[in-house]
Amino acid sequence: MDQTEISAEYDDGVLTVRIEGEVDHHAARHLREDIDKKIFFHRPAVLVLDLSRVGFMDSSGLGLMLGRYTRMEEIGGRLVISDPSQQTEKIIRLSGLDKKIEIKKKGGQA
Amino acid sequence: MKKKQINGMKLEFDAISSNEAFARQTMCAFAAGLDPTIDEISDLRVIISEAVTNCVVHAYKNAPGKVEITAKTYEDRSMRIKIKDRGCGIEDIDKCMQPLYTTDPSGERGGMGFAIMQAMSEKFRVVSAPGAGTALYIEIKFGK
């Protein structure tokens, strides 16, 4: 399945990347390349990964987040995870990644 | 007392990344007979996805190989799953079970696969030896 897609918006230093579909090892490779191209082009202060339309995520998604967290640190920026589903949030918390990466819920502030 | 089996299945497929989705969808369809909740089915999808990804990435290192899944469901709404590869095997299982441990140097893998599978399973056991492949024995209980 190659149905996982991204759409991106850049505004005033904030690059928002919305991921739509399933984030597993198969999809993560393409997502990584696509997101990194956008980081390289915009060099944002904040990267927001909008997960509101992610229907499934496993630890390959955690790796994707961890890699983007490192990219953003390298350019002096930060990563924010936005609106994960209950299941995605469970995986993030099980991994302890929530202690390292900021999670924003609908209506909250990044 | 021996548990009464309801259903059984065996599945073999190529260890390629596009089969990660195939495997989790197939296993969820098989588990549907036990009437799991949405949360329980979500956990099963994660467990299967983690296990098959390990076969593709670690056991065969993206080289050709087969993954074999056998599963049985029981009257007490439990499910036993065995996921087996004939890949490189694991040298130090205890080390691999530690959260955040990964052999991948790219920084793109969290090293959480085994820890997540273990947290979401009722029982979880790894049998492996270098050169002899790996088998995961997983038990899940619905309606706890």
pLDDT for the residue B128: 96
**pLDDT grade for A107, boundaries at 50, 70 and 90:** low
CA of B141 vs chain A CAs: smallest distance (Å): 18
Q: Per residue in A85-102, pLDDT tens? A: 999 999 999 988 999 999
Cβ pair B85, A68 in contact under 8 A: no
- Picking from B26, B41, B108 by the largest number of A CB atoms within 10 A of its own CB, the best residue to mutate is B108
Q: Is B19 a catalytic residue?
A: no
Chain A partners of B56 at a C-beta cutoff of 8 Å?
25
User: Does the structure show a pLDDT above 60 at B37?
Assistant: yes
**Which architecture does CATH list for B5-141?**
2-Layer Sandwich (3.30)
Neighbours of A47 (CB within 10 A): 24
User: Does the structure show a pLDDT above 80 at B12?
Assistant: yes
pLDDT for the residue B73: 98
Q: Which among B18, B50, B110 is the nearest to A66, CB-wise?
A: B110
CATH number of A5-104: 3.30.750.24
User: Does the structure show a pLDDT above 80 at B99?
Assistant: no
User: Does the structure show a pLDDT above 50 at A1?
Assistant: no
What residue ranges do the domains of chain A occupy? 5-104
- CB contact (8 A) between residue A24 and residue B57: no
* Residue B4 Cα distances to A1, B1, B74, B81, B123, angstroms: 36, 9, 6, 15, 18
CA of A23 vs chain B CAs: smallest distance (Å): 10
